[in-house]
Amino acid sequence: MRPITLSLLSLAIASSTFSHAAFASQPLSTLITEGKPILDLRYRYEHVDQDNALNNANAQTLRTRIGFQSGKWYGLSALIEADNVSRIGDASYNSLRNGQTDFSVVADPDGSEINQALLRYDHSLGNAVVGRQRINLDNQRFVGGVAWRQNEQTYDGVLGQLKPLDGLTLTYAYIDNINSIFGPGNGRFDAAGNQANIEGHSHLLNAKYVVMPELTATAYQYRLGLDNLAGGGQSSKTSGVRLNGAISGVSYALEYAKQSDYADNPQDLDSDYYLAELGYTVKGVALKGGYEVLGGDSGPGNRAFQTPLATKHAFQGWADIFLLTPADGVEDIYIGASTALFGGNLAAWYHDFRAERGSSNYGSEIDVSYAHAIPGVKGLVGLVKYAGYDADDFAVDTDKLWVQLQYSY
């Protein structure tokens, strides 16, 4: 951890000055007595069937998360959390760490790792966090934790939030290491695209202002120095603005961002991002539709708009066909609905994918999921989920099926 880590912690502690008597009034033992244990178990079966030469993948994994969240002592608190991902049964899938390259990919490698280990200071005007932490900004389109995968993506660094005015939140984070979903590394199957630890110097700036209940405005700039990810080819500076809210029951989101090269990226990046989305709930059915564009760029190599730190599974279809934006970019026209059903939640989506440059029709996808709490066991939730990608001019037909049980204490 860089010296800035200790500097931020010192600043957080120094910003609250109390007399000896004041500290004595709240015992240090509060950190333990008001703390709570963390226990989360997630079993998942994932099946992948692709129209290519690869064998179908059948993966059974169990993610076990244990930890402790301390109480607060004059705004100070701590969190420690460890994850273990274990394979159940045969390794008939390519985890990107097990060498099973004859099978389709299920990116859930075995292994144990510290997921979070941090110190936090909370104040009426904001907060500061130092250490390994979860960072989810806005809707996670650009920075997120990829919580869908068994090994969550977390960040080593410092984060500070300032709330100088009602409704205004200013966020800055410095990151010097990213613990990706492909970890922990085993030193045998590392590649430029599946680094367990993404090294570099990244700066995240985000300013969000709730103007009124109908409008929230966010401006951001994410300077990503990703030194060892694809040879530095995904280092970028992304600047954008997002407007979202709800008017007369109609929710909306409008967003634009510009991406250019940053740090030691050898490519000259110049691409755009657009989003327009509307939602409406009628008779208990939440409807949503949108148009999202990740621009392409002509020239040598792939210089399209990329989102390397995003929670990508939540966007452009659950089959994860477009984890790396194609050189000609992607236009995604989508519509979806969700509703309560038999005590659970049913959701369905349809996507139509096309190239942003040129006339290629990539294909379409249908996604369906149903989640339901398991009766008699508090904290236990079951999930069945399906994604079907019908290829046209890009990739191959892909079907994915998940069956999951998750227990949270």
- DSSP H/E element including 32: helix 30-33
Report residue 21's pLDDT band, with 50, 70 and 90 as the boundaries. very low
Q: Which residue has the tokens 């294909």?
A: 363
**Phi, psi (5° rounding) for residue 3?**
-55, -25
- What is the C-alpha to C-alpha distance for residues 199 and 202, in angstroms, rounded to an integer? 9
Strands 168-179 and 250-261: unpaired
CA-wise closest residue to 351 among 363, 365, 331 = 365
Helices (H) and strands (E) counted in the chain, each on its own, are 3, 18
What mean pLDDT value characterizes the chain? 93
Q: Which CATH class name applies to 3-408? A: mainly beta
Tally of CB atoms within 10 A around 268:
12
Report residue 193's pLDDT band, with 50, 70 and 90 as the boundaries. confident
pLDDT, tens digit, for every residue of 324-341? 999 999 999 999 999 999
pTM: 0.92
Q: Are residues 374 and 380 in contact, defined by beta-carbon separation less than 8 angstroms? A: yes
Residue 178, judged by CB atoms within 10 A of its CB (0-12, 13-18, 19+), counts as buried
The per-residue pLDDT for 298 is 74
Report residue 24's pLDDT band, with 50, 70 and 90 as the boundaries. low
Q: Are residues 38 and 67 in contact, defined by beta-carbon separation less than 8 angstroms? A: yes
Using only C-alpha atoms, the chain has a radius of gyration, in whole angstroms, of 22
Residue 359 reports pLDDT greater than 90: yes
pLDDT, tens digit, for every residue of 79-101? 999 999 999 999 999 999 999 99
Boundaries of every domain in the chain: 3-408
